[in-house]
Amino acid sequence: MALIKTLNGVSPKTGKDCFLAETATLIGQVEIGNNCSIWYNAVLRGDVHYIKIGNNTNVQDNAVIHATYKKSPTNIGSNVTIAHGAIVHGCTIKDNVMIGMNAVVLDDAVIESNSIIAAGSVVTKGTKVESGCVYAGIPAKKIKEISKDLLEGEIIRIANAYETYASWYKK
């Protein structure tokens, strides 16, 4: 069973049909929507501000989600993929977004809907990522616009695939 820890009188809340891996950690002010999956060694630490996640979002192995004390909460939309080893900190990620493996999204950044942050990229503090674009590099910059094929073939496909993968573990 995942580590679900009440802190300062606040307990994490999860929606219906979520998968929480045995080594996932949820602490304090964490709220997760329906059909989400939180994978092995992922840490969602809502100790200094809240973390809210929409529906059908997956947080993959070794990802870390945190916030900044009394300043920058973390809001993550629906159909979002936070890939292996990513760090998401005190930012806003809207719907239908993919954060690549080992990418970092820092405080007060806003990732608009239908966007991709490439693996290994660093989205610096306060960056506004345009809807429908791929950002890559250190610091992350716009490299191209997302085609319908990329949106449906990667962002939506991966979000839906993780709902399927999670169903295997719920049996």
CATH of the domain at 68: 2.160.10.10
Per-residue pLDDT, averaged over 110-126, amounts to 98
Q: Is the pLDDT of residue 117 over 90?
A: yes
Per-residue pLDDT, averaged over 141-170, amounts to 91
Angle among Cα 102, 104, 105 to the nearest 5 degrees reads 145
Backbone angles phi, psi at 106, to 5 degrees: -100, 175
Overall domain count for the chain: 1
Q: Tell how strand 74-76 and strand 122-123 pair up.
A: unpaired
Per-residue pLDDT, averaged over 111-129, amounts to 98
Per-residue pLDDT, averaged over 113-120, amounts to 97
pLDDT for position 153: 84
Tell me the sheet residues that pair with 130. none
Alpha-carbon distance of 152 to 156, in angstroms, equals 5
DSSP category for residue 150: H
Q: What domain range is 13 assigned to? A: 3-170
pTM value?
0.97
Per-residue pLDDT, averaged over 43-53, amounts to 98
Burial-class residue 56 by CB neighbours within 10 Å (0-12, 13-18, 19+): buried
Structural tokens at position 66: 């945190």
Helix (H, G, I), strand (E, B) or coil at 54: coil
